[in-house]
Amino acid sequence: MGGRGSFVNVNSGNFAFKEGGQTYFAIGMIGDNIKVLERPGTSVKAPEMSHTENRIYAVVQNGELKHLAFYDQNHKQVKSIDFGHEHGWNHEKPHVHFNMQHIKNEPGTRPSKDDWVIINKVNDWLKIHK
């Protein structure tokens, strides 16, 4: 398996892929650029690489949004928003990480207004598709 993961069961846009030992199932699209991924199991993280440039992945587990991950033109993750736990000495939830850095003693960064537009789109989609 390469750094971008390996595909299995590719058919009509609904597929599964593995990355870093975790399996993700594509369960839908929101607009042209937000792909909704389901991550079964107990642990969940956003994929480090995207299969499409400038993509946003919404990673869902048990019907709940766990991560939003934003990727650049080189398919690399440039920002992620974590919803599953608090972060930083100010206990932000959700909180933002940039460029795959997860520094424990930094203050948690809040999502921007633009981030909240995307978060609300994903949560609205999840309400309809539960």
pLDDT tens track for 22-47: 788 899 999 999 999 998 877 777 88
Q: Is the pLDDT of residue 104 over 90?
A: no
pTM: 0.80
Q: What pLDDT sits at residue 97?
A: 86
Provide, rounded to the nearest whole percent, the portion of the chain with pLDDT above 70.
Answer: 72
Max distance between CA atoms of the chain, in angstroms, equals 45
Q: What pLDDT sits at residue 20?
A: 63
Model confidence at 72, in pLDDT bands (50, 70, 90)?
very high
Q: What pLDDT sits at residue 30?
A: 95
